């Protein structure tokens, strides 16, 4: 049986575990085929595998330090509130009642309460005040949104309601304490991460340190680490980074480990592991590492910092001496390892995934070693699936550089199958050895295609210079790299040169649309959320990095910006194209896709538009995703048979 979109939505999606000593709780998300609704349930790891411990939604779990209680987020009357449940048995009880819900919990060291975040309205920045103001606004007939902010909407959310996250301590028996009353601080934007990841509680439970931004006069955020007493009070500045940001503080005794960046207008800028020493001084633990860590935690039994970082399309676990001065040591590798969770007893739990298997929990000794599988939620399903082989090759690309290409073969090998290139977004991202729910390579390969995934110039995990190399010119070297991979696959007889397609989303949509105006080698193109007109991208949600990425601001050098736009080359665009876009996509506003479709239809080029009024940059609902895969396969089949 070949992998289908329906299979993707029938699989259990294993989330980040939580551990306290020998107690480990694992969240698993499933989807209802009738309603599309998702439910995350919690499972206790024991000798027989996973044992269900909750009914109904229970997301973002956190184990108490003694391992006896678990906190999680559950819907209550249209909001999501933090609940606490004893693992020994009994019903979960809500511990928050915020008008706009509560985010992920984090326990105080003594287990007597939790820290969480909730959005409050700036015009009434208390829970009761926000509740009253919400009721008043509901009665208004005015629907206008007004702003003078530079970032006024993000991903799929308008930011004009005057709300901001507040950090609360919530005692299990007592009233919540607002740690950031009226602060004016700005936290992680919607869709970019969980604000609780930017919070750390001191080992003695006396203070909370968090990373947040202060708006400045030039509208560029001033990122700082702040400290505030657990009981509330004045906050104090721990560290500031006006040229970049700081993130994920973690206490290590009387020191604080965190990540520092130094460029606000370049989202792929390297993250530098840094520390605030006991005397208040800050220093980088390592300055010149060729990798950039994505997540880190302090491991108490070995006094080291555990890091995960991309390296040539894979993610491995590293250990870093908190005294600094040495390169991180490799502790574990194998496909993609993410979300390190130390249990405090000498083991680390992580999620492991590959191109051919979705995430499952594995365990690694703190001293390093091979990942030991802990869960196998989807084993029965994969036992019945036929997946094609996965290969990795290297081709010579632009500048003579080595370019990594992952190949996913069709489940039933054939001589010279049709080729489908997948082009990743970003552009500063990577096609890694990891499972993808929305652009799954095996689902693309299932009809009999060879799927190629090229990590072209600009991709991450191949050194910082390689990633930066396309700044100011998004098209030239990535196009060379993709065509070099195409030439190699044709020359070696692996694919049929008369049946080749290229598909991409976001930046990937940009590159395939660009190639539509520069080559006729491909029988068809799939352009999802494609950037087509660079000048019009000033309608995107965050514009800080546009001049650097494009090589100029549109008012400084409009000719250069136009030349770098696929729209500037429509004269030569004759390739049949499937155009896909979501109405609520504020990252690549929908006119970008509609323009491409309108031009192609006016020129008489075969084109089809698939428009989702309730989706954003990604297609997230079960039914729409299955429809998306169906449209893509039907279109590819029309031109590649």
pLDDT tens-digit series, residues 3-38:
999 999 999 999 999 999 899 999 999 999 999 999
Backbone angle region of 111, left / alpha / beta, with phi > 0 → left and psi within -120 to 50 → alpha: left
User: What is the average per-residue pLDDT within 570-590?
Assistant: 98
**Number of Cβ atoms within 10 Å of the Cβ of 84:** 21
What is the model's pLDDT at position 223? 85
pLDDT at residue 497, rounded to an integer: 97
Contact call for residues 165 and 195 (beta carbons, < 8 A): yes
Q: Cα–Cα distance between 100 and 131 in angstroms, integer?
A: 8
Distance CA 168, CA 105 (A): 10
One DSSP character per residue, 36-61 reads --EEEEEEEEETTEEEE---S--EEE
**Which CB contacts under 8 angstroms, 24+ apart, belong to 50-56?**
50/26, 50/375, 50/377, 53/25, 53/85, 53/87, 54/85, 54/92
Residue that has been written with the tokens 């009353």 in this structure: 181
Say what the pLDDT of residue 188 is: 66
What is the signed CA dihedral for 229, 235, 239, 240, rounded to 10 degrees? Answer: 150
Q: Tell me which residue has tokens 């693992």.
A: 87
pTM (2 d.p.): 0.95
Q: What is the pLDDT of residues 465-484, one digit of tens each?
A: 999 999 999 999 999 999 99
Distance CA 237, CA 260 (A): 16
How is residue 499 annotated by DSSP? S
- Contact (Cβ atoms closer than 8 angstroms) between residue 525 and residue 421: no
| Token couple for 629 | 């895969």
Query: Would you state the structure tokens that stand for residue 536, as one six-digit string?
Result: 């019009």
Cβ atoms of 617 and 506 within 8 Å: the answer is yes
Q: What is the CA radius of gyration of the chain?
A: 25
- Whether the pLDDT of residue 633 is over 60: the answer is yes
Q: Which two tokens stand for residue 197?
A: 């990841």
Range 115-119 average pLDDT = 96
Tokens for 398? 């632009």
Q: Where are the beta strands (DSSP E) in 78-147?
A: 79-86, 93-94, 106-107, 113-121
Give the mean model confidence (pLDDT) for residues 430-449: 97
Task: Give Cβ neighbours of residue 203 (< 8 Å, ≥ 6 apart).
Answer: 109, 251, 253
Identify the sign of the CA torsion 426, 28, 369, 294: positive
pLDDT score of 346: 92
pLDDT digits (tens, 9 = 90+) for 280-339: 999 999 988 999 999 999 998 888 999 999 999 999 999 999 887 789 999 999 999 999
**Which SS3 state, helix, strand or coil, does residue 290 take?**
coil
Type and span of the H or E element at 422:
strand 419-423
Question: Structural domain boundaries of the chain?
Answer: 386-640
pLDDT tens digits, one per residue of 261-276: 998 888 899 999 999 9
Enter the DSSP assignment of 186: B
Average pLDDT over residues 141-168: 92
Percent residues over pLDDT 90 in the chain: 88
More confident residue, 185 or 399: 399
pLDDT surpassing 60 at residue 217: no
C-alpha closest to that of 61 among 21, 111, 108, 17 = 17
User: 514: closest CA among 468, 568, 553, 454?
Assistant: 568
Partner residues linked to 453 by β-bridges = 406, 422
> Among all chains, which residue has been given the structure tokens 């991208």?
537
Q: Cα separation of 358 and 339, whole Å?
A: 14
Would you state the pLDDT for residue 222? Answer: 80
Q: What is the pLDDT of residue 510?
A: 98
What pLDDT is attached to residue 151? Answer: 86
Contact between residue 258 and residue 272 where contact means Cβ atoms under 8 Å apart: no
Q: What are phi and psi of 92, to 5 degrees?
A: -75, 145
CA proximity to 131, closest of 144, 140, 139, 121: 121
Residue 571 has pLDDT above 70, yes or no: yes
- State the average pLDDT over residues 214-237: 83
- Measured distance CA(94)–CA(623) in Å, rounded: 32
The helix/strand/coil state of 560 is helix
Write down the pLDDT at residue 248. Answer: 94
> Are 557 and 508 within 8 A, CB to CB?
no
73, pLDDT greater than 80: yes
Q: What are 283's two structure tokens? A: 């220093």
- Digit-coded pLDDT (tens) for 30-46: 999 999 999 999 999 99
Q: Is the pLDDT of residue 578 over 70?
A: yes
Q: How many CB atoms lie within 10 A of CB 392?
A: 14
Q: At what angle do helices 476-491 and 507-516 cross, to 10 degrees?
A: 70
- Look at residue 47 in the predicted model and tell me its pLDDT: 85
Class of the CATH-defined domain 386-640: alpha beta
Are the C-beta atoms of 490 and 521 separated by less than 8 Å? Answer: no
Pairing of strands 402-408, 450-455: antiparallel
Q: State residue 220's pLDDT score.
A: 66
Are 597 and 609 within 8 A, CB to CB?
yes
Residue 192 is predicted with a pLDDT of 63
Give the mean model confidence (pLDDT) for residues 623-640. Answer: 98
Distance CA 249, CA 278 (A): 14
* DSSP codes, 423-435: E-SSSS----SS-
- Span 547-564, mean pLDDT? 94
């Amino acid at each position: 049986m070949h992998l289908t979109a329906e299979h993707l939505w029938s699989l259990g999606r294993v989330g980040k575990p939580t551990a306290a000593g020998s107690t480990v709780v694992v969240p698993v998300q499933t989807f209802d085929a009738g309603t599309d609704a998702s439910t995350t349930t919690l499972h206790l790891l024991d000798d027989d595998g996973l044992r269900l411990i909750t009914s109904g939604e229970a997301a973002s779990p956190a184990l108490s330090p003694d391992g006896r209680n678990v906190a999680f987020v559950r819907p209550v009357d249209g909001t999501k509130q933090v609940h606490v449940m004893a693992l020994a048995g009994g019903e979960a009880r809500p511990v928050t009642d915020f008008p706009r819900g509560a985010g992920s919990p984090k326990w105080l060291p003594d287990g007597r309460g939790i820290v969480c975040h909730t959005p409050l309205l700036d015009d009434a920045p208390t829970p009761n005040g926000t509740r009253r103001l919400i009721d008043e606004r509901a009665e208004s007939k005015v629907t206008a949104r007004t702003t003078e902010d530079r970032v006024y909407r993000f991903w799929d959310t308008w930011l004009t309601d005057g709300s901001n996250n507040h950090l609360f301590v919530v005692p299990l028996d007592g009233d919540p304490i607002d740690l950031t009353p009226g602060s004016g601080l700005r936290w992680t934007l919607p869709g970019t991460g969980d604000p609780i990841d930017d919070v750390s509680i001191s080992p003695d439970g006396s203070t909370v340190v968090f990373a947040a931004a202060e708006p400045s006069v030039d509208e560029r955020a001033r990122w700082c680490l702040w400290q505030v007493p657990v009981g509330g009070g004045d906050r104090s500045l721990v560290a500031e980074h006006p040229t970049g940001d700081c993130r994920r503080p973690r206490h290590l005794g009387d020191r604080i480990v965190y990540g520092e960046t130094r460029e606000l207008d370049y989202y792929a800028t390297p993250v530098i592991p840094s520390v605030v020493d006991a005397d208040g001084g800050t220093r980088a633990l390592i300055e010149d590492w060729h990798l950039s860590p994505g997540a880190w935690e302090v491991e108490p039994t070995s006094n080291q910092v555990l890091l995960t970082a991309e390296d040539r399309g894979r993610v491995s676990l590293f250990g870093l001496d908190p005294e600094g001065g040495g390169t991180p040591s490799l502790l574990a590798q194998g496909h993609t390892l993410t979300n390190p969770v130390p249990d405090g007893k000498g083991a680390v739990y992580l999620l492991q995934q590959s191109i051919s298997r979705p995430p499952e929990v594995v365990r690694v000794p703190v001293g390093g070693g091979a990942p030991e599988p802990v869960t196998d939620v989807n084993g029965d399903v994969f036992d019945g699936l036929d997946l094609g082989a996965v290969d990795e090759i290297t081709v010579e690309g632009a500048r003579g550089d080595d370019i990594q290409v992952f190949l996913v073969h069709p489940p039933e090998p054939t001589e010279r199958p049709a080729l489908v290139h997948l082009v990743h977004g970003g552009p500063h991202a990577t096609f890694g050895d990891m499972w993808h729910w929305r652009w799954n390579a095996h689902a693309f390969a299932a009809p009999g295609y060879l799927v190629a995934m090229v990590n072209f110039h600009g991709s991450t995990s191949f050194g910082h210079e390689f990633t930066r190399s396309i700044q100011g010119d998004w098209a030239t070297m990535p196009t060379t790299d993709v065509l070099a991979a195409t030439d190699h696959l044709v020359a070696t007889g692996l694919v049929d040169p008369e049946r080749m397609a290229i598909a991409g989303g976001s930046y990937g949509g940009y590159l395939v649309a660009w190639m539509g105006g520069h080559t006729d080698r491909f029988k068809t193109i799939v352009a999802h959320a494609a950037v087509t007109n660079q000048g019009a991208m000033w309608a995107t949600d965050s514009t800080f990095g546009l001049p650097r990425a494009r090589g100029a601001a549109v008012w400084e050098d409009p000719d250069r910006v136009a030349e770098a736009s696929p729209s500037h080359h429509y004269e030569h665009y004759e390739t049949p194209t499937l155009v896909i876009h979501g109405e609520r996509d504020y990252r690549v506003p929908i006119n970008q896709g509609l323009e491409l479709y309108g031009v192609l239809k006016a020129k008489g080029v075969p084109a089809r538009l698939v428009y989702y009024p309730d989706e954003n940059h990604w297609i997230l609902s079960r039914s729409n995703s299955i429809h998306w895969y169906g449209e893509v396969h039907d279109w590819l089949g029309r031109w590649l048979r």
